[in-house]
Chains A and B, each alone.
Chain A
Amino acid sequence: MSKFSLKINGNTQVVDVDDNTPMLWVLRDHLKLVGTKYGCGIAQCGACTVHLGDNAVRSCQIPVSSVGDQEITTIEGLSENGEHPVQQAWLEVDVPQCGYCQAGQIMSASALLKRNPSPSDAEIEAAMNGNICRCGTYTRIKKAIKTAATATENA
């Protein structure tokens, strides 16, 4: 067990955990930030996606000891009250069915739009291919990303 000082959603949080504990479980079990979801534990489903700096990463594969002073953003910190254009587009298009994978989808989509504000269909598909939606909301996910891209352009 070691103490780690982590920058999460703009705050500094100290946790006392095993060095190899993945960020996913630090977030969920220790910091009670349960918006980041467990799906597979092997970086195959994308449910645990968070931002490390500006990059979308699978938090199940990031040991707490490797984070250092890099900024972590989770779904809870993407915006104050859900006003991020991607979150707004998700609501407008009514994307979720069960909703379980959607935090991960939104984190992947927001990272994509940050580096590529108007992605093509193929770019959206490639960027979102690591996020499984078992309910099959893929067509709405694509539509919502385009909606968010347009909203950002017009903003």
Chain B
Amino acid sequence: MTLVKTKIGRRSFIRTSALAGGGMMVGFSWLASCKMTPEEVNSLPKEWFDINGFLKIGDNGMVTIMSPNPEIGQNVKTAMPMIVADELDVDWKNVIVEQAPLNLDVFQRQLAGGSQSIRAGWEGLRMAGATARKMLKQAAAKAWEVPEEEITTSNGMLYHEASNKSAGYGELASAAVGVSSPDDPPENIEVPEEVELKGIKDFTIIGTDRLNVDGPKIVTGKPLFGIDVQEEGMLTAMIVHPPAFGLSYKSMDAESVKSMPGIKDVFPVDVYPEGVEKQWSDGGGIAQLVAIVGESTWQCMQAKKALKVEWEGPSDLESTSSYEDDLAKLLDAPVEAPARSDGDFNQAFKSAAKVIERTYSAPFLAHNTMEPMNFYAHVTADKAEVKGPIQTPEFLEKTLSSVLDMSIDNIDVGMTRMGGGFGRRLYGHFGVEAAVISKKAQAPIKLVYSREDDMTQGTYRPAYKVKFKAGLDKDNNLIAWSVKGAGTNDDLVFENRFPAGAVDNYLAEKTSLQTKITTGAWRAPRSNFMAGAEQSFMDEVAELAGKDPIDFRLELFDRAINDPVGNPEQNDYDPERYAGVLKLVKEKAKWDGSGNGKARGVSAYYCHNSYVAQVLDLSMEGNKPMVDKVVCAVDCGIVINPISAKNQIEGGIIDGIGHATYSQMTFEDGVPQQQNFDSYHLIRNIEAPKQIESYFVDNGIDPTGLGEPSLPPVIGALANAMYKATGKRVYNQPFILEKEIVG
């Protein structure tokens, strides 16, 4: 046996050896990493056989399936292996799931973002399972000397009915990978070039409720997250970053804190030296920081508090109030060219019988993942081992290669479960910081951000402003619609989304304001604001037209279906699926336009390839909306794991209501005014909806995203219901601060 280290050096592998025939036999030691009962130990296989990069089969029929993508709470670690297991045709209770290492030779798109893991992974995951199943059938056919076509599988078993033969996958796994006993020379099973996938009706795991595979570890407090990493000789590192956006490092009095208990070193770090090739994922990374390295987190925190650092920079630092003015001015200024123009909006708006014009705004938001940014790094002269919570491991590896001047082959990036992402961990500068600090400190370190660091060195959701205009003819038909949006470092408008294609005279314009406040993707980028604004405006236009808000939208979808404006290929939505979720929510919420005595609002939106419609009921407690119930209809194609899919929907709804109602980041002279959860209001238990019902459209279409799509529209449903309750419209987030609704 030759000892071979796997790419990220997972310690659970105790031996691996390439055998004749190209098969890979892998020995496992589960005992090294966790305590198991004697029954569990006995149930483990003696040997594992690598069928392909996605799965291994044990000699006793147990299956290990790798979950290729980063897990941020979207539960792909359960869903992705479910897809493989279904095509492999095994019993889910015999499946062990493992987080795959970063390995782009085997896996594609190992990234968590854009609600795309399942959509992009769907075919490859099915192929991985189906290919393995076919190889097992081929092995059985050879062993039993019967035609492969006559072999069937079920729940981890192979059958040949005519000869009454059967075997478990484990018994034939060795043959499937070409490993045989010495007196039975190995025969290669070719990896098939084509495999047949299951029909939708044959799925036995996809579409059924399967509990979170990490659930037992989560509820018993096992180490799972980046911040839980403990390694031999590891020190803790913390950073001190500029207190205001626009400032940079000048000098410090390091000596005064170096003598504090447990402190090993204090030094400035150049995270991104001149000439480094940065990736998009380095986002808002600050070039120069101060690092404190010590024995424990608390000791580093004390030193951080005591350390005096001088910063320098221009005197004209940016403030929230100036952004608001600047964004408003941008909306009044002409843009160079429209993003999309159908018909003649200006002419139609002028000639309209009724017109309406409204402006909406939203503030910067922090991501505030419950697990603050952190990363483990051990960098030596010729090797870098890093691991932690990262949505973009591939890009971190590339930046590290440039920053450390080291070949990618010598860099191992491991992925831990993430205590939330919401887009924040797309920007992996903290991983780079950890590596640079480890190199300078010549020690393995775990970099941990304090909550204050996390909130004040953000890559925030941009601040936004959008202006809508609409015109109705004398018969209350919508004849003109325009949208003009502006954001900080972001141009906001999706010009080909609804109602583009449903209105004869349509105009979309977009523009942006450059700022020093670092901004980036935040759960459902742009949609997280646009949906609420658009769907609130749609409600007002429907009211102006004297029409039921659902009927009004359905009329527009009819137009987009039957007589689309412009080239229908240009519209990035399917009006039939859009109308479908509205009809479903109308039925499930028993919407009859009366509100049934409740303050009730409706909204529908399409983003991340999925369609969502919601009806929301609330009552007001002062200026605080208390949501009784949200009924939600979703079309995301095939639902992999309904119990978990509903969890995503519920989470998105609560997240959307919470941020639109309560949350904001503000800045004065570049200084973030919210530093922790005492000044940044995140929605709490008592403020959450009392009840959420979710329904799926059953259409057998390939699955699309679910991590984001339920968030954007709920803000519109909330605003529209608040109007029903108070008689006043809300235009500016966070709604709790909107002056008109107070009292």
Q: Which residues from A are CB-within-8-Å of B650?
A: 136-137, 139-140
User: Cβ of B214 and Cβ of A94 under 8 Å apart?
Assistant: no
- Report which of B212, B216, B451 forms a contact with A41, defined as CB distance below 8 A: B451
User: Cβ of B653 and Cβ of A87 under 8 Å apart?
Assistant: no
User: Interface readout for A51-88 with B: 1 if CB under 8 Å, 0 if not?
Assistant: 00000000000000000000000111011011000010
Q: Which residues from B are CB-within-8-Å of A140?
A: 647, 650
How far apart sit A39 and B678, CA to CA, in the bound complex (Å)? 12
User: Cβ of B678 and Cβ of A44 under 8 Å apart?
Assistant: yes
User: Cβ of B221 and Cβ of A103 under 8 Å apart?
Assistant: yes
Interface flag for A101 (CB, 8 Å): yes
How far apart sit A36 and B141, CA to CA, in the bound complex (Å)? 53
Q: A35-B222, A75-B220, A81-B220 are contacts. A136–B655 as well, Cβ < 8 Å?
A: yes
Main secondary structure of the interface of A (DSSP, over half): loop
Q: A29-B297, A125-B686 are contacts. A99–B676 as well, Cβ < 8 Å?
A: no
Q: How far apart are A36's CB and chain B's nearest CB, in angstroms?
A: 7
How far apart sit A102 and B451, CA to CA, in the bound complex (Å)? 18
Residues of B50-85 at the interface with A, using a CB-CB cut-off of 8 Å, are: 72-75
Interface flag for A114 (CB, 8 Å): no
Q: A40-B676, A102-B218, A139-B650 are contacts. A91–B211 as well, Cβ < 8 Å?
A: yes
User: Interface readout for A116-155 with B: 1 if CB under 8 Å, 0 if not?
Assistant: 0000010011101111111111111110000000000000
The stretch from B308-316, B399-407, B414-422 touching chain A is: B414-422
How far apart sit A25 and B554, CA to CA, in the bound complex (Å)? 56
The size bracket of the interface on A is: 35 or more
Q: Which residues from A are CB-within-8-Å of B299?
A: 18
Q: Which residues from B are CB-within-8-Å of A129?
A: 684-686
User: Interface readout for B481-507 with A: 1 if CB under 8 Å, 0 if not?
Assistant: 000000000000000000000000000
How far apart sit A18 and B220, CA to CA, in the bound complex (Å)? 28
How far apart sit A91 and B209, CA to CA, in the bound complex (Å)? 12
Q: How far apart are A62's CB and chain B's nearest CB, in angstroms?
A: 13
Q: A42-B678, A136-B653 are contacts. A99–B224 as well, Cβ < 8 Å?
A: yes
How far apart sit A30 and B297, CA to CA, in the bound complex (Å)? 10
User: Cβ of B643 and Cβ of A94 under 8 Å apart?
Assistant: yes
Q: How far apart are A98's CB and chain B's nearest CB, in angstroms?
A: 3
Interface residue count on the B side (C-beta < 8 Å): 67
Interface flag for B595 (CB, 8 Å): no
- Report which of B219, B688, B689 forms a contact with A96, defined as CB distance below 8 A: B219
User: Cβ of A135 and Cβ of B220 under 8 Å apart?
Assistant: no
Q: A25-B297, A99-B419, A135-B651 are contacts. A94–B450 as well, Cβ < 8 Å?
A: no
Q: Which residues from B are CB-within-8-Å of A40?
A: 451, 676-677
How far apart sit A41 and B453, CA to CA, in the bound complex (Å)? 12
User: Cβ of B296 and Cβ of A25 under 8 Å apart?
Assistant: yes
Interface flag for B563 (CB, 8 Å): no
Interface flag for B692 (CB, 8 Å): yes
Residues of B633-671 at the interface with A, using a CB-CB cut-off of 8 Å, are: 643-644, 647-648, 650-655, 658
User: Cβ of B654 and Cβ of A100 under 8 Å apart?
Assistant: no
How far apart sit A103 and B421, CA to CA, in the bound complex (Å)? 18
How far apart sit A52 and B690, CA to CA, in the bound complex (Å)? 31
User: Cβ of B692 and Cβ of A134 under 8 Å apart?
Assistant: no
Interface flag for A28 (CB, 8 Å): yes
How far apart sit A137 and B684, CA to CA, in the bound complex (Å)? 10
Closest to A30 in B: B296
Interface flag for A111 (CB, 8 Å): no
User: Cβ of B685 and Cβ of A141 under 8 Å apart?
Assistant: yes
- Report which of B221, B302, B370, B684 forms a contact with A76, defined as CB distance below 8 A: B221
Q: A38-B227, A45-B370, A129-B684 are contacts. A98–B420 as well, Cβ < 8 Å?
A: yes
Residues of B208-236 at the interface with A, using a CB-CB cut-off of 8 Å, are: 209, 211-212, 214-216, 218-225, 227-228, 230, 236
User: Cβ of B677 and Cβ of A34 under 8 Å apart?
Assistant: no
Closest to B689 in A: A139
Q: Which residues from B are CB-within-8-Å of A37?
A: 225, 227, 370-371, 419
Interface flag for B185 (CB, 8 Å): no
Q: How far apart are A106's CB and chain B's nearest CB, in angstroms?
A: 6
Q: Which residues from A are CB-within-8-Å of B417?
A: 98-99
How far apart sit A78 and B221, CA to CA, in the bound complex (Å)? 10
Q: Which residues from A are CB-within-8-Å of B647?
A: 94, 97, 137, 140
Q: How far apart are A116's CB and chain B's nearest CB, in angstroms?
A: 16
Residues of B281-333 at the interface with A, using a CB-CB cut-off of 8 Å, are: 296-299, 301-302
Closest to A121 in B: B690
Q: Which residues from B are CB-within-8-Å of A142?
A: 685
Q: How far apart are B449's CB and chain A's nearest CB, in angstroms?
A: 10
User: Cβ of B230 and Cβ of A134 under 8 Å apart?
Assistant: no
Interface flag for B261 (CB, 8 Å): yes
How far apart sit A138 and B230, CA to CA, in the bound complex (Å)? 31
Interface flag for B188 (CB, 8 Å): no
How far apart sit A134 and B451, CA to CA, in the bound complex (Å)? 14
How far apart sit A34 and B73, CA to CA, in the bound complex (Å)? 19
Interface flag for B691 (CB, 8 Å): yes
User: Cβ of B73 and Cβ of A29 under 8 Å apart?
Assistant: no
Interface flag for B155 (CB, 8 Å): no
Q: Which residues from A are CB-within-8-Å of B75?
A: 97
Q: How far apart are A2's CB and chain B's nearest CB, in angstroms?
A: 12
Interface flag for B528 (CB, 8 Å): no
Interface flag for A47 (CB, 8 Å): yes
Q: How far apart are B239's CB and chain A's nearest CB, in angstroms?
A: 16
Q: How far apart are A142's CB and chain B's nearest CB, in angstroms?
A: 7
User: Cβ of A138 and Cβ of B654 under 8 Å apart?
Assistant: yes
Q: Which residues from A are CB-within-8-Å of B212?
A: 94, 96, 99
Q: How far apart are B448's CB and chain A's nearest CB, in angstroms?
A: 8
User: Cβ of B371 and Cβ of A96 under 8 Å apart?
Assistant: no
User: Cβ of A82 and Cβ of B216 under 8 Å apart?
Assistant: yes
Closest to B229 in A: A34
User: Interface readout for A9-41 with B: 1 if CB under 8 Å, 0 if not?
Assistant: 000000001100110010011101111111111
Residues of B320-362 at the interface with A, using a CB-CB cut-off of 8 Å, are: none
User: Cβ of A29 and Cβ of B654 under 8 Å apart?
Assistant: no
Q: Which residues from A are CB-within-8-Å of B8?
A: none
User: Cβ of B297 and Cβ of A28 under 8 Å apart?
Assistant: yes
Q: A35-B222, A42-B676, A87-B219 are contacts. A22–B298 as well, Cβ < 8 Å?
A: yes
Interface flag for B393 (CB, 8 Å): no
Q: A40-B676, A98-B370 are contacts. A25–B298 as well, Cβ < 8 Å?
A: yes
Q: Which residues from B are CB-within-8-Å of A30?
A: 296
User: Cβ of A125 and Cβ of B372 under 8 Å apart?
Assistant: no
Q: How far apart are B551's CB and chain A's nearest CB, in angstroms?
A: 30
Q: Which residues from A are CB-within-8-Å of B422?
A: 134
Closest to B222 in A: A35
Q: Which residues from A are CB-within-8-Å of B368?
A: 134
Closest to A122 in B: B686
Closest to B630 in A: A139
Q: A39-B370, A75-B221, A135-B73 are contacts. A91–B216 as well, Cβ < 8 Å?
A: yes
Q: Which residues from A are CB-within-8-Å of B732?
A: none
Other 10 A-B pairs with CB < 8 A, given A38-B448, A82-B220: A28-B297, A40-B676, A44-B676, A81-B220, A94-B209, A97-B74, A129-B686, A134-B682, A137-B650, A139-B689
Q: Identify 10 residue pairs between A and B in the complex whose beta-carbon atoms are under 8 Å apart, listed by A's number.
A: A25-B296, A37-B227, A42-B676, A44-B677, A82-B219, A99-B224, A99-B417, A134-B369, A136-B651, A139-B692
Which 8 residue pairs of A and B lie closest in terms of their CB atoms, listed nearest first? A35-B221, A98-B73, A100-B419, A136-B654, A75-B221, A138-B688, A99-B218, A44-B677
